[in-house]
Amino acid sequence: MLKIRTLADKSAVEAEAPIADRWSARSLYEQLTETAEKFPDRPAISFQLKSGPSAKSVTLSWSAFRAEVTRASNMLRRLGVGPTDAVAYILPNGIEAPVILIAGATAGIVNPINPLLAPET
C-alpha cells in the first residue's frame, strides 16, 4: 500500500504520474465507489473526540462510509438540491462532518462553515 507521510513523499507521487492518469473516476462519488469496492472492509475514516489511549473512537470502513455518503446525498437530492445548488453546513468536528462534506459535493456544491468562528462585531 502506498504511504504518504511527508511533503517529499507527496511530491514523489505527483512526479511519478498525474492524478488524471491514476484515477479513472469522473466524480468524487465515483472515486469513493471504486475505493469502497476495492477495499470494502478497510478503515476509511476515524474520529476520536478525546485524545487518550482508551478514549472511544468511531471508525467507518470504506463500504460504510460510502453507504453514509449515499444516504446523506440522497436526502439532499430529495430536498431539491441539484448540481448547481449550494449546501452550507455547520457541524462540529466529528464523523458526520466528512460524510456531509462528500454528500454535499455529490448532490451539489458544498460550503462548510467552521462552528468556532465568531460573528463580526
Nine-digit cell string for 82:
441539484
Largest CA distance in the chain: 50
The span from the CA of 121 to the CA of 119, in Å, is: 6
Structure confidence by residue, pLDDT tens digits, 36-84:
999 999 999 999 888 888 888 899 999 999 999 999 999 999 999 999 9
**Vertex 19 angle, CA 6 and 102, to 5°:** 85
Closest CA to 61 of 25, 27, 106, 95: 95
Q: Nearest 5°: phi and psi at 17? A: -165, 140
Share of the chain above pLDDT 70, in %: 98
pTM listed for this prediction:
0.79
